[in-house]
Structure 1
Amino acid sequence: MHAPHSPPGDPVVGNALRFARAPLDYLDAIGDAYADGIVHLSGAVGPGIYVVLDPGLVQRVLVDDHGRYRKPGFRPELVDPLVGEGLLTSGGDHWRRQRTTLQPAFFTSRLRGFGDTIVDFTRATTAGWTDGDEFDLYRELGVLTVRIISRLLLGVDLSRADAAAVGDAMLDVGEGLAVSPGGVVRPPWLQTPPPREYQQAIRELEDVTARVVAMHEPGGDDVLSLLERAIADDPDAFPADELRDQVMTMLLAGHETTALTLTYALSLLSWNPAARATLHDEVDAVVDGAPRWEDLAALDYTEQVIHETLRVLPPVWALFREPLADVRLGDYRLPAGAPLMLPQWAIHRSPRHWDAPDEFDPGRWAETKPAEVPAYFPFGAGPRACIGRQLAIVESKLILATLFADWDVEVTVDDLPRRAAITMQPTEAVPAVVRRH
């Protein structure tokens, strides 16, 4: 039993400012310096944060001993007004009730019926393109994935304007929730009002949410229908804001990670022409016109591209937990309530676990099953793994195959500045040009 590693810090603020100024770079640095194990980053106030860099210990927290940990409250003054007690943030019996209620919306048997919808929405988007068009790829994909998720999970056809409003609001949300020097040195008891732009973004999201609920027709197997039936059967089991919180959660979490995955995939393919050519060859060989559900099994390289993207540029850059009581985690003893960071960013890219980790190499997944790699957990693991992980892979494969059947998409910058918020977002527009294939 020994204490976690403690990197050198600064007087008073410890490691807080070094981490906050460049979180992803700092995680790279401590990942290289300390490799496996746990690193304690001290802060200006409070217990600091414990960064778990050993994939085996991550497995212990998320899977083997999951009942001994919970999700911590993260920036409640910002997150609570955003998603309330939605599936991402709720805990205990409430979370279990939500998960059980919503799980049928994500059954594989239901996913089979999603293929045509995903392809149709994608082709409707590309129908507005002309050869040589240039646009912000992240925004374009955000509008597309919001509309897809609204149809598949919420049972409504959201307008392009409403979908764009969701995407634009998410950028303001991401800026408000980004790791920042001010955020890490402010005492937890010092609550400040959310920035005006953040409050306005929530109002815009709530307006869209209200329209979704008003447009929805009950009786299906979508998230809203399942919730409405569960609430009708047991009104006291759910809070008054349940519908609002879950719609907000699905609009944000349901589209954001897929839009980011596709943005990063198309960027990495632009920077790696051989991989892009291989993907084009596969789509040309498999897809006749537009992809179908039956084509998914043959789109092997397409799926490898997605998994390699999630490894190199994981949209979810870290997960967070805290022990309910004092725990022994490997050779370390951690106090109750100690904030734990489980960083996909550092572990997915560590030379301890990957050959040539900085290289974008989809072929590394040709003989490797992602579920069998402890150092790869883009959707989390255990009971609280992302409920929509299978849908995210299917949706990403079908969108990529639809795009590559008719188009070549090239990101025209050679780097994407990013920020660490709830997700890892680009901080600037992602310029891309499209050409007929």
Structure 2
Amino acid sequence: MYFYILSLSSILAYWIIKAAVSSNKDRVYARRKACQPCACLPQTERVIGYSLFKQDATIARQGRSLQTAQDRFRLFGDTFSGVILGQLFISTIDPENAKALLSSQFADFDSGKKALFGPFLGDSMLTTDEALWKHSRSLVRPHLGRTQVEDLSNLEGCVQNFFACLPKDGSTVDVQHLFFRLTFDNVIQLLLNETISTLSCQPGSNLHMVMKAFDSIGDLVNRRATLGPLLRFYCDTAMNDACKILHDFVDRIIEKAYRKRKEARGSTPPVSFLDSMLDSTDDLEKVRYEVLGLLLAGRDTTAGTLSSLFYVLARRPDVWTKLQTEVNRLGGRSPTYSDIKGLKYLRQLIDETLRLYPPVPVLFRAANQTTTLPRGGGVDGKSPVLVPKGTVISCSTFSLQRRQDVYGPDAEEFRPERWDHLTAHWNFLPFSAGPKVCLGQTYAYVQMAYIVSRVAQHYEGIEKRSDEPWTEKWSITLMNASGTKVGMIPKKGTVN
């Protein structure tokens, strides 16, 4: 017994001394950098932070996390700190801090996504940092060419399948559900050159099971995030089951394409992103994880944004009328890439939706070394802030993009015209920024613009069919918890 007590005492003493030495080094570093403390959330204790954890868990279940964070920024300023389950965190909406996180001090921070997404995405561009991330990005980026962005022929077929799912009599439909199917089908075709229709798949079919698994990933990742440091001890059977379904689905497509490329022996040019990837690597597991990461990003961010936009359109007939007036200039024909670039008001609609309902409402980073944020310290909030190694930083794009000092006193309102003369820079980050900016953002804009313009050409109006307020559902991306229930009123002769 004496031996065990002595051993435990020695371990405890070691950690106390180590923490003291580290704390002293941080104080010296903070003085050298002229750091000042930032505001702190009021907590009964800041060692474990269990009460704040319980409070935030309740708020999350009520769908109020983003609004609560915005209220805290109003109370405590643009940058504040707290402790949850022993983890120090700093929350900020200061654009200079956002710039430091994503660009000027990029090397000081890791994404921390591997623990959450590892079973699904492995070592891919979306989960890795530093050398592994650079390798993944160098492998993926050359194969996302301009030709794929400008070729919209495949998208039209997906849009027609979407139209076929809308009631012809204008009865109520939840288009949010359909948008997630539409964007998945389109991204599969774009990346893998495979034609599928999850919009028409039957319950119980293999494709239906794939979609159920894909739909579950967001909630499963969200649950893993709530476990914090306990995640390492958690056996996530549900996540593993969903991953197996999705891995098997993508692996079959990859292996078929791989055999074709080997048989062709370079005699035929690649016709898809997948073909190009397979011409540059034989690591099929690596290809799988990169493809799944792009599928996830390409489906969820676009579908969530479209859902929020149509929620607004159903409640703003003035916006719908102005949109139709612009789109009518096309004369009913399918828009080309060049046409889309000229639809100024439609671009403003998309930007305003991304501003108020950003697909990724909070950007997280973790300090991989002791560093600083350029602002947030001191009484005036203008001094640097110490960021000890391991600190989690959250930048709420949801709140950042509603700053009244940037967007005006009506920042909470949907007003697309504000983009006539607005240059937002680091106050507008729907696709992140810096070295890890979303590679697919151009196609996301084009895809959303094409879908919206085709709907405006084929439908006379959009009617709201629910009085429920927009309520956040935030897992991987942001969407309305109650869906987007609308009535789509067809134009005569445009929808069979």
Asked if Structure 1 and Structure 2 have the same fold, meaning a TM-score greater than 0.5 normalized by the shorter chain, the answer is yes
Residue identity in the other structure for 2:218:
G
Change (3 A) 1:287 1:163: farther
2:62 corresponds to: none
Asked whether 1:27 is paired with 2:69, we answer yes
1:185 positional shift: 6.5
Which whole-Å deviations, capped at 9, do the CAs of 1:293-318 have from their partners, x for residues lacking one? 23112211111110100010111111
The answer to whether 1:253 aligns with 2:253 is no
Shift of 1:212: 2.7
Q: Which residue of 2 aligns with 1:224?
A: 274
Q: Which residue of 48, 67, 71 maps to 2:107?
A: 67
- Greater shift in the superposed pair: 168-177 or 139-148: 168-177
Deviation at 1:111, TM superposition (A): 1.5
1:290-309 → structure 2 map (5 Å cutoff): 290-309=334-353
Pair 170,248 (structure 1): closer, same or farther in 2 beyond 3 Å: same
Cα separation, 2, equivalents of 1:55 and 1:148: 34
Q: Give the aligned residue type for 1:58.
A: A
Letter in structure 2 aligned against 1:306: I
Shift in Å at residue 164 of structure 1? 5.2
Distance in structure 2 (CA, Å) of the matches to 1:171 and 1:417: 19
Q: Provide the rounded CA distance (Å) in 2 between the counterparts of 1:389 and 1:186.
A: 30
Q: What is the identity, as a one-letter code, of the residue corresponding to 2:316?
A: N
Residue 345 of structure 1 deviates from its aligned partner by 1.1
Q: 2:187, 2:299 within 8 Å by CA — same for their partners in 1?
A: yes
SS at match of 1:271: coil
Deviations 1:240-263 (A, max 9, x none): 621221222122111110011101
Question: Secondary structure of 1:329's match?
Answer: strand
Paired position in structure 1 for 2:130: 92
Alignment partner of 1:118 out of 138, 148, 155: 155
Q: 1:69 to 1:185 in 2, by over 3 A?
A: closer
Task: Report if aligned partners of 2:144, 2:273 keep a CA contact under 8 Å in 1.
Answer: no
Contact 1:16 1:184 (8 Å CA) reproduced: no
Equivalent in 155, 158, 165 of residue 196 of structure 2: 158
CA distance in 2, matches of 1:65, 1:287: 49
Are the counterparts in 2 of residues 158 and 212 from structure 1 also a CA contact under 8 Å?
no
Aligned to 2:386: 333
Instruction: State whether structure 2 residue 234 is matched by structure 1 residue 192.
Output: yes
Selected match of 1:393 from 439, 445, 448: 445
TM score, norm. by length of structure 1: 0.89
State the Cα deviation string for residues 185-241 of structure 1 (Å, max 9, x = none).
654365222263x44432332232134324535452533222212214xxxxx5x62
Task: Note the alpha carbon deviations across 1:17-42, whole angstroms, 9 max, x for none.
Answer: 33333321221111222333x21121
Q: Determine whether 1:436 maps to 2:474.
A: no
Q: Retained in 1: the 8 A contact 2:314–2:486?
A: no
Task: Give the secondary structure class of the aligned counterpart of 2:407.
Answer: coil
Residue 384 (structure 1) shift: 0.4
Tell me, yes or no, if the aligned pair for 1:323 and 1:335 is still in contact at 8 Å: yes
Q: What is the distance in 2 between the residues matched to 1:429 and 1:264? A: 9
Contact kept, 8 Å, 1:311 with 1:378, in 2: the verdict is: yes
- The CA distance in 2 between the partners of 1:143 and 1:189, in whole Å, is 31
* Cα gap change, 1:111 to 1:27, in 2 (>3 Å): same
**Superposed CA offset, 1:109-135 (max 9, x none):** 43222x222233212321453231432
Matched residue type, 2:339 = D
Tell me, what secondary structure is at the counterpart of 2:43? Answer: coil
The 5-angstrom pairing of residues 96-245 of structure 1 reads 96-113=134-151, 115-129=152-166, 130-160=168-198, 161=201, 165-178=209-222, 184=226, 187-188=229-230, 191-194=233-236, 196=238, 198-216=239-257, 218=261, 219-220=269-270, 222-232=272-282, 241-245=285-289
Shift of residue 328, structure 1, vs aligned partner: 2.0
Unaligned runs of 5+ in 2: 1-34, 60-64, 262-268, 375-383, 492-496
Query: Structure 1: which amino acid aligns with 2:479?
Result: Q
- Report the Cα distance in structure 1 between the residues aligned to 2:208 and 2:354, rounded to whole angstroms: 24
Q: In 2 relative to 1, CA 298–85 (structure 1 residues): closer, same or farther, beyond 3 Å?
A: same
Provide the residue aligned with 1:381 in structure 2. 433
For residues 212 and 133 of structure 1, the distance between their equivalents in structure 2, rounded to whole angstroms, comes to 37
Say whether the 8 Å CA contact 1:119–1:291 is kept in structure 2: no
After superposition, the Cα gap between the structure-2 partners of 1:410 and 1:199, relative to the gap in structure 1 and judged at 3 Å, is farther
Counterpart Cα distance in 1 of 2:254 and 2:450: 28
Aligned positions, number: 421
CA shift for structure 1 position 159: 3.4
Distance 1:16 1:104 in 2: 43
Partner of residue 4, structure 1: 38
Distance 1:167 1:304, change over 3 A: farther
Question: Normalized against structure 2, the TM-score is what?
Answer: 0.79
Q: Which moved further from structure 2: 150-159 or 16-25?
A: 16-25
CA RMSD of aligned residues (A): 2.4
- Whether contact under 8 Å (1:314, 1:424) holds in the other structure is yes
- Please give the per-residue CA displacement for 1:143-200, whole angstroms capped at 9, x wherever unaligned: 11011111112221123236654543333222223369xx64654365222263x444
**Residue-by-residue CA offset, 1:260-288 (whole Å, 9 max, x unaligned):** 11011111111222112111111112343
Q: Closer, same or farther in 2 for the Cα pair 1:96/1:287, shift >3 Å?
A: farther
Contact 2:107 2:130 in 1 (8 A): no
Q: Distance in 2 between matches of 1:406 and 1:163?
A: 28
Deviation at 1:425, TM superposition (A): 3.4
Q: Partners of 1:255 and 1:284 in 2: how far apart?
A: 28
Q: Distance in 1 between matches of 2:470 and 2:188?
A: 28
Hey, what does 1:235 align to over in structure 2? none
